Chain A
């Protein structure tokens, strides 16, 4: 049982390049989340998916898109990367609607030059 996995672990992009961050969970969880972590700002929610087939914007969605590919996988896409998107990105998942503990992946450290 791997929990929440993320790929890649590290990535360097040039301004304007695109890339997709992958996230998968093997806990049969319904909800999945993408956060970014910046110094002095804690974690901020980018997008979430309450259940398979639905996605919603979080606090900081601009410049990102997401796809809930199936129940296991939730990807985050940067269409045209900007230096302001340099951050550490965390994916998380949560089980039933009545539970509220989220399980986090190990993170992707992204640098945009």
Chain B
């Protein structure tokens, strides 16, 4: 079946620190992989995605590389800001007829302190 295992939080970092949030997945086929971000009181927003092996998704200074050999999609940012404080969700979607359902990890709460 499909599942996503995500680094447990919460994570607290100082501003300008390096961020890594680990994500590994199990899938029966060739999934697309996503990172979604949820700011306080809001819905989820797509942060970045990768649709095939070795693709790198990037947005707002965040990056993640689709690693098929390690079934991983770790999120990184070189220098976090206070405004990056949010909950981050790793997710996968398998190509199938119809809805392409998303499978989510449990989320990692990031707090960045000045």
Contact = CB atoms under 8 A, between A and B. Distances in A.
Contacts of A100: 32, 49, 51, 93, 95, 100, 102
A43 interface: yes
Interface size class of A (residues with CB under 8 A): 20 to 34
B83 interface: no
Interface string B26-53: 0000001010100001111110010100
B106 A41 contact: yes
Nearest to B31: A100
Given A42-B105, A100-B32, A100-B93, A105 B43 contact: yes
B103 to A, nearest CB: 8
A43 B89 contact: yes
Interface in B45-72: 45-46, 49, 51
Given A41-B106, A42-B104, A42-B105, A31 B46 contact: no
Given A42-B105, A42-B107, A100-B32, A90 B43 contact: yes
Interface centre among B4, B43, B104, B106 (most CB of A within 10 A): B43
B106 A40 contact: yes
A43 B104 contact: yes
Interface residues of B, number: 26
A48 B43 contact: no
Given A33-B102, A50-B98, A106-B43, 15 more contacts: A4-B43, A42-B89, A43-B44, A43-B89, A48-B99, A56-B98, A92-B44, A99-B100, A100-B32, A100-B95, A101-B46, A102-B46, A104-B45, A105-B43, A107-B42
Closest CB pairs A-B (n = 10): A50-B98, A104-B43, A42-B104, A50-B99, A104-B44, A42-B106, A100-B93, A100-B100, A43-B104, A31-B99
6 contacts: A42-B104, A42-B106, A45-B102, A50-B98, A92-B44, A106-B42
